[in-house]
Amino acid sequence: MADTATKPDIKGEEVTYQAGDTTLKGYIAWDANKPGPRPGVIVVHEWWGHTDYVRRRARMLAEEGYTALALDMYGDGKKAAHPEDAQKFMMETISNAEVAKARFLAAHELLKNHASTDPSKIAAIGYCFGGAVVLQMARSGADLDGVASFHGNLSTESPAAPGVVKAKILVLHGADDPFVPKEQVDAFIREMDAAGADYTFIEYPGAVHAFTNPDATENGKKFNMPLAYNEEVDKKSWAELQKFLRRLWS
């Protein structure tokens, strides 16, 4: 989707916004050389929080011609250095579904109102924890054209009801991810079929949790967790995302 005639001029901007009493700190990226409004993509971070990794993904989307907002689900842009902190931050956020939804929707509103965004064309992608977030928003019937989950959790306590899901769904899953076993995959597929959702499920043999993040292998060794980067699958899954986004707005 990027305009090859003009070299991209990627702008990145820190943004502060509110959801209830919580101050959220995100990052928005767009190509200043691309004329006119363009589709917007929300990027939801891993359980580590609002790291440089999620900002890099936002800039990569901007290079493809989108306006991308790396949101903040935890508040104050905080990030975890240890899995115990990551788990704590995540549980604080998801323990109240309405709070989590409000934080996502605050980012949605911010992205829609950015000068470079076409507010009628919005999608969301997420990694690990973020994948679970965007799938849950789709289940709730959020006003999104599409959502894509990379190595995200697929389980839910609030399954999609028939006819409610508006967004097209893309799931990019590591077939050897111990955090998302086959039983969870099978339940997700049954749920999507029963809900009549428009979804695509792709799994990658040999890929484990966090396969898109170059820091995953080091973190896996450091904390004795089944995490590992897979460069080949990272590139393949990103290419699938680009095809998915183009189909949404072609």
pLDDT of residue 240: 98
For 235, phi then psi, to 5°, come to -65, -40
Query: pLDDT by residue (tens digit) across 29-81?
Result: 999 999 999 999 999 999 999 999 999 999 999 999 999 999 999 999 999 99
What's the helix, strand, coil split of the chain in %, to 5? 35, 25, 40
- Domains present along the chain, CATH in parentheses: 10-249 (3.40.50.1820)
pLDDT of residue 214: 97
CA distance 158 to 136: 8
Query: pLDDT by residue (tens digit) across 197-246?
Result: 999 999 999 999 999 999 999 999 999 999 999 999 999 999 999 999 99
**Across 17-35, average pLDDT:** 96
User: 5 pLDDT band (50/70/90 cuts)?
Assistant: low
Q: Pick the closest to residue 174 from 134, 130, 127 (CA basis).
A: 127
DSSP 3-state assignment of 183? helix
Query: pLDDT by residue (tens digit) across 105-146?
Result: 999 999 999 999 999 999 999 999 999 999 999 999 999 999
pLDDT of residue 248 exceeding 70, the answer is: yes
> Is residue 150 a contact partner of residue 201, using CB atoms and an 8 Å limit?
no
Taking the CB of residue 201, how many other CB atoms lie within 10 A of it? 15
pLDDT of residue 59: 98
DSSP 3-state assignment of 168? strand
